[in-house]
Amino acid sequence: MMLKTDVAIVGGGLAGLVAAHEAVKRGRKVVLLDQEGPQSLGGQAFWSLGGLMMIDTPEQRRMGIRDSRDLAAQDWMGSAGFDRPEDANPRRVAEAYLDFAAGPMRGYLHDIGMRWFPVVGWAERGGAKADGHGNSVPRFHVTWGTGTGVVAPFVRLVKEAETAGNLQFAFRHRVTGLNVTDGRVTGLRGDVLAEDDAVRGASTNREVTGPFEMQAESVIVASGGIGGDHDKVRKLWPVDRLGPAPKVMVAGVPDYVDGQMQAVAKAAGAGAINEDRMWHYCEGLKNWDPIWPNHGIRILPGPSSMWFDALGVRMEAPCLPGFDTLSTLKRILSTGHEHSWFILTQKIIEKEFALSGSEQNPDLTSGKWREVLKERLGKGATGAVEAFKDHGEDFVVAQDFETLVEGMNRITPNAPLDTAHLRAQVAARDAQLTNPFAKDAQVIAIRQARAYRGDRLIRTAKPHAILDPANGPLIAVRLNILTRKSLGGLHTDLEAKVLRPDGRVLDGLYAAGEVAGFGGGGYHGYNALEGTFLGGCIFSGRAAGQSA
């Protein structure tokens, strides 16, 4: 391995790949290091659904969606709620991302081979105020090939750079320190780990075979977040905003997403901000066929499932499926429990349930229309959803309501539910469907969703009575808190330069992706609009590679 390079990039996820590509384009020699093996190239993006937030695209216009940079900015800033002095750079990066997403982003990605599913998804709908949290219109562009389709073009480009002699991979290299000379980062050091052929995402060994050290004109940290270390998540948990940290969570990321490089950067003089801002999902399932420890999968729900807290109380707007993640998280934790429940029908699960992740959507991952039509329009839910319904420990299926609640109580005996109370709430909701008028916020939201052609086609079931046996069987799903993203991190400027705690630039050090709060040290603010995680990795990785 070369011991001197122009640019050393720590982390082979999406942000690191983009940074490497951009640096090579500028004629820089690059070494890309990762503590995992080549099988994990692409990091967390590989496992994702591949959604990107873009603004005023041909895909949106074909679906009858009118979007604009101004409307997206209103949504972003209303969601972000920037309110701290240190939010100046995050806000600047957010504004720059909006310019990118409304301008060159689609062309930049299209030119290297990305394409998008024609139905644009409507994620994080908000449900409160026009100038508050949420997307006013659908903006979630699912990439053909899902997360693998986002990663693949950049993997191809960096491998071409390797062949040309402009880039070198250093897998199984764990960075434990940054070298600083006269106030400038001049290289890095760490441990070479023993080879490990475990499948992508599975735990790998930490056997050290020797040390390494490398000189570099610039170092880019693109090492991801902390979601695999639940103790770190709990330590930073914003109790004042979200309530007590959950004692039990399922892991939305592998255990190598450990946040160690953020600590390494801080030890070298880097500043970090907004570390208490984080993004965890409420609709987590325990994976019946896990890859990494405590492996969780998120349900991407349509708007029709009834959502109850652990005490059996139906949750109020905006705590509806797909509307406001953090408000719902706070509402769930307010009960003193860490789980909640969906109650729905077979008709709803067939039309509305999707699971997040490339491996849970083999049809979209294949990029073949034939596979998509067979999977999405055939009888029953998707194969992945039906497998969870059959094998997952969080599912209860029953022909009558009493049996359904008995099954729910078997799963959570520490929080027993009252059958009569639950039935009364479901019956009240069903009664709202007898005419075209309603006061129930969720029923109104379902009808609005079906006014959008994309939701009506593939994401929202026709309104129907849950207690009517013709729509059954009945289904209940226990939902767990699922760890996912850090919304804060290393403080950076618009050029991805890392700043010291006093705001001065730490020369020679750059950061991109989740370790930098996806840009600026937290360009989301308090809330994410979805599609902005992969989008932020691409945007901040691009900035780092163009600057380092």
At a CB cut-off of 8 Å and minimum separation 6, what does 157 contact? 17, 21, 24, 112
Give me the mean pLDDT over the 160-166 stretch.
Answer: 98
Q: Alpha-carbon distance 512 to 385, whole Å?
A: 34
- Residue ending a domain, among 466, 482, 498, is 482
DSSP string for 483-532: EEEES-EE-B-TT-EEEPTTS-EEEEEEE-GGGBTTTTTTTTTT---SSH
- How high is the pLDDT of residue 376? 73
- Classify residue 235: in a domain, yes or no: no
Whether residues 497 and 477 fall in one domain? no
Give me the mean pLDDT over the 196-212 stretch.
Answer: 96
Q: Alpha-carbon distance 544 to 28, whole Å?
A: 12
Give me the mean pLDDT over the 112-135 stretch.
Answer: 94
Whether residues 402 and 445 fall in one domain? yes
The β-bridge relationship of strands 497-499 and 184-193 is unpaired
- Classify residue 259: in a domain, yes or no: no
Number of structural domains found in the chain: 2
Alpha carbon dihedral 384, 387, 391, 395, in 10-degree steps, equals: 70
- Classify residue 528: in a domain, yes or no: yes
- Classify residue 316: in a domain, yes or no: yes
CATH of the domain at 326: 3.90.700
- Classify residue 157: in a domain, yes or no: yes
Whether residues 443 and 519 fall in one domain? no
Whether residues 211 and 127 fall in one domain? yes
Whether residues 205 and 328 fall in one domain? no
Specify the higher pLDDT residue, 477 or 366: 477
State how far the alpha carbon of 441 is from the alpha carbons of 127, 389, 428, in Å.
9, 28, 13
Maximal C-alpha separation, the chain: 75
Report the candidate in 128, 155, 122 with the shortest Cα–Cα distance to residue 46.
Answer: 155
Give the domain extent around 210.
2-224+487-547
- How high is the pLDDT of residue 2? 60
Q: Alpha-carbon distance 479 to 429, whole Å?
A: 21
Q: pLDDT tier at 1 (50, 70, 90 boundaries)? A: low
Whether residues 323 and 424 fall in one domain? yes
Q: What is the pLDDT of residues 27-57, one digit of tens each?
A: 999 999 999 999 999 999 999 999 999 999 9
Q: What is the pLDDT of residues 352-365, one digit of tens each?
A: 999 998 888 888 88
- Classify residue 231: in a domain, yes or no: no
Whether residues 200 and 348 fall in one domain? no
Task: Give the percent of the chain with pLDDT over 70.
Answer: 99
At a CB cut-off of 8 Å and minimum separation 6, what does 516 contact? 221, 489, 490, 491, 492, 496, 498, 540
For residue 535, pLDDT over 80 is answered with: yes
Whether residues 313 and 407 fall in one domain? yes
Q: Which residues of 303-333 are buried (b: 16+ CB within 10 A; e: fewer)?
A: bbbbbbbbebebbebbbbbbbbbbbbbbbbb
Q: Phi and psi dihedrals of 446, rounded to 5?
A: -60, -45
- How high is the pLDDT of residue 489? 98
At a CB cut-off of 8 Å and minimum separation 6, what does 192 contact? 172, 173, 174, 208, 209, 210, 211, 212
- How high is the pLDDT of residue 361? 87
- Residue ending a domain, among 436, 461, 482, is 482
Token digits of residue 322: 């797909």
Q: Alpha-carbon distance 337 to 417, whole Å?
A: 13
Whether residues 73 and 154 fall in one domain? yes
- Classify residue 283: in a domain, yes or no: no
For the entire predicted model, the pTM comes to 0.96
- Classify residue 290: in a domain, yes or no: no
Residue 118 CA to its chain's centroid (Å):
21
Q: Which residues of 127-166 are buried (b: 16+ CB within 10 A; e: fewer)?
A: beeeebbbbbbbbbbbbbbbbbbbbbbbbebbeebbeeeb
Whether residues 431 and 495 fall in one domain? no
- How high is the pLDDT of residue 220? 98
Q: What is the pLDDT of residues 314-326, one digit of tens each?
A: 999 999 999 999 9
Q: pLDDT tier at 431 (50, 70, 90 boundaries)? A: very high
Q: What is the pLDDT of residues 265-289, one digit of tens each?
A: 999 999 999 999 999 999 999 999 9
- How high is the pLDDT of residue 332? 98
Whether residues 97 and 18 fall in one domain? yes
- Identify each DSSP E strand in 78-157 by its residue range: 140-142
- How high is the pLDDT of residue 285? 97
- The neighbour count for residue 212, using CB atoms within 10 Å, is 18
Alpha carbon dihedral 45, 282, 519, 47, in 10-degree steps, equals: 0
CATH of the domain at 134: 3.50.50.60
- Residue ending a domain, among 433, 465, 482, is 482
Q: What is the pLDDT of residues 306-352, one digit of tens each?
A: 999 999 999 999 999 999 999 999 999 999 999 999 999 999 999 99
Q: Alpha-carbon distance 524 to 518, whole Å?
A: 8
Give me the mean pLDDT over the 513-518 stretch.
Answer: 98
Q: What is the pLDDT of residues 390-411, one digit of tens each?
A: 999 999 999 999 999 999 999 9
Q: Alpha-carbon distance 535 to 105, whole Å?
A: 9
Q: pLDDT tier at 496 (50, 70, 90 boundaries)? A: very high
Whether residues 187 and 69 fall in one domain? yes
Token digits of residue 20: 């490497």
**Helix/strand/coil for 27:** coil
Give me the mean pLDDT over the 514-528 stretch.
Answer: 98
Q: What is the pLDDT of residues 362-396, one digit of tens each?
A: 888 888 878 877 777 777 788 999 999 999 999 99
Contact between residue 302 and residue 461 where contact means Cβ atoms under 8 Å apart: yes
Q: Phi and psi dihedrals of 377, rounded to 5?
A: -110, 0
